[in-house]
Amino acid sequence: MPIPIILEAAFGGLSKIPYSYTALKVLPCLLLAFFVKRYFGGAPNTSERKMHSKVIMMTGGTSGIGGAVARELASRGAQLVLLTHHELSDPFLVDYIMDMRKSTGNELITAEHVDLSSLHSIRVFATKWVDNAPPRRLDMIILCANTMTPLGGEATKTVDGLESNWAINYLANFHLLSILSPALRAQPPDRDVRVIFGMCSSYMGGSLLHVVPPVSDDKSKKPAKKAAPPNNVQFRPSTAYATSKLALFAFASAFQKHLSAYKRPDGFPMNSRVVVVDPGWTRSPGMRRFLTVGSLWGLLVYLVMYPFWWFVLKDETQGAQSFLFAAMDAELGRDEGGKFIKECKERVVMRSEVNDERLQKALWEESDQSIQTTEKASAIRRTVEKKQREEAEKDAERTEAKKESSTKQPGSRRGKKTAPAEI
C-alpha cells in the first residue's frame, strides 16, 4: 500500500494524492503538539533498584502523586506501610489496598491510622514503632502528604488549634521524624536508608521572619521584632502554603545534619540520607485546588481550560518520576545526602535560608517548644473530654436504672399488669 502511493507522488506529484496538502499542513501541528506535550511531561526515571524486602513508610500514599509513587514501588516488590488519616475499617481504604495488592501482585501492602493534623495521633504511632526490640526494619520514609488553603479561602485550624498548612505540611513531618530518628539510626550499616521530602517550587515565596528576624547592619539598633507566628489568626492563607514548604525545606537540611552528626556504636559511617524532591507542576488534587481557588466558578474555568492544563501539566505518573529517581538512584545512596532533585536531576536551592544554620537552629527550637506546649494543652483537653464522657455515661446508666426500677417496682399498677397469673 505505501509503495504505490510513494510512486504516484514521485511521478505524478502531490496533487495526485487525495488530501496531501491538508496532511502536510496538519502534520507540523501534530508534531509540535507532540513535542510540547513531551517537554512538559518532564524527565522519566531511568534508574532501577531491587525493592524486594524494602520496608517503605509513606504519607499521602492514597491519592495524587503519592498514590502513583506507592503503586510503582509496590509493583517492584517493596513492602509499603501507608500512613493515612482514614480509619483502618474505612471501606475506601480497604478497597484501595485490596485493589493495589491485586494490580501490583504484591500482598505486602498495609496501612496505619495516623492523623497528621493531630500531634497526639503522630506520637502514638511513632512511639509504638520505635518501642520495639530488635528495631524494626525501615529502609525509606517518603513524605508526600500536604494540604493547601486556596487563595480566596479562610485560615483553618487543626484539632490542636494550629494553622492547618503549618501543622500538616511542616510540623507533622517534624514531629514524626523527630520520634522516628532512633529507628533510622538503628538500621544496620549495610542498609541504604533514605528520607524523601516532597517539595513544591512555591517554597521560593515563603517567609520565615516569624522564626528569625532579619539581622540589622546597624549594631546600635535593636534587632527587628518577629512577625506573627504561623498559628496566629492573622497568618495569611495566601502565603501559608509557601511558608510551610520553606520551613520543611530548612528542616530537611537540618535533619540531614542531625543524622550525619550521630556516631554509630559500631564505628561505621551514618547510612541515612535525606533527599528533597520537587515533582514539578502536576495535575494533582492540590494543583486543582490551587487553580480553582477553592470555588465552583474556578472549577468551571478549570474544566473549560482542561485541554490547556492537559498539555502543560504532568499527570500523576509523570509527577512521580522524580520520587522514583530519589528512591532508586544508586549515586544518591553513596553521597553525603541532603540533595535537591527535580526532573530526575540534582538542582540548586533557590533560597539561602534553607541552608542557614542560624535559621535552622531557631526553627528547630521553636518547633520543639510549640509541640511541647500544644501537646500539654491537648492532653489536658483529652482528660477533660474523657471525664465528661465518663460522667455522661454514668448519668445515662443512672437514668436507665431509675427507669428499670420504676417499671419493676413491686405493688405498682404497671407491675401488677405485667405480673404472670398464678395457676
Q: Which three cell numbers stand for residue 343?
A: 526532573
Asked whether the beta carbons of 320 and 344 are under 8 A apart, the reply is no
CB proximity list for 188: less than 8 A, separation 6 or greater: none
Q: Tell me the three-class secondary structure of 313-373, residue by residue.
A: CECHHHHCHHHHHHHHCCHHHCCCCCEEEECCEECCCCCHHHHCHHHHHHHHHHHHHHHHH
Amino acid identity of residue 14, one-letter, is: L
Strand ranges inside 223-355, DSSP E: 272-278, 339-342, 345-346
CA 42 – CA 24 distance, rounded (Å): 29
The SS3 of residue 182 is: helix
CB atoms within 10 A of CB 342: 19
The CA distances from residue 266 to 14, 99, 136, 256, 269, in Å, are: 77, 43, 18, 20, 9
DSSP string for 379-397:
HHHHHHHHHHHHHHHHHHH
CA 184 – CA 198 distance, rounded (Å): 19
The SS3 of residue 81 is: strand
Nearest to 253 by CA among 274, 267, 224: 274
Annotated active-site residue in 245, 314, 339, 342: 245
CA 93 – CA 62 distance, rounded (Å): 8
Output the CA torsion 57→118→248→100 (10° steps): 30
Which strand ranges, in their side-by-side order, compose the sheet holding 345-346? 109-113, 79-84, 55-59, 140-143, 193-198, 272-278, 339-342, 345-346
CA 100 – CA 420 distance, rounded (Å): 61
> Catalytic site residue 245?
yes
CA 309 – CA 281 distance, rounded (Å): 10
Nearest to 331 by CA among 349, 346, 350: 346
Asked whether the beta carbons of 344 and 325 are under 8 A apart, the reply is yes
Asked whether the beta carbons of 69 and 326 are under 8 A apart, the reply is no
Catalytic residues: 245
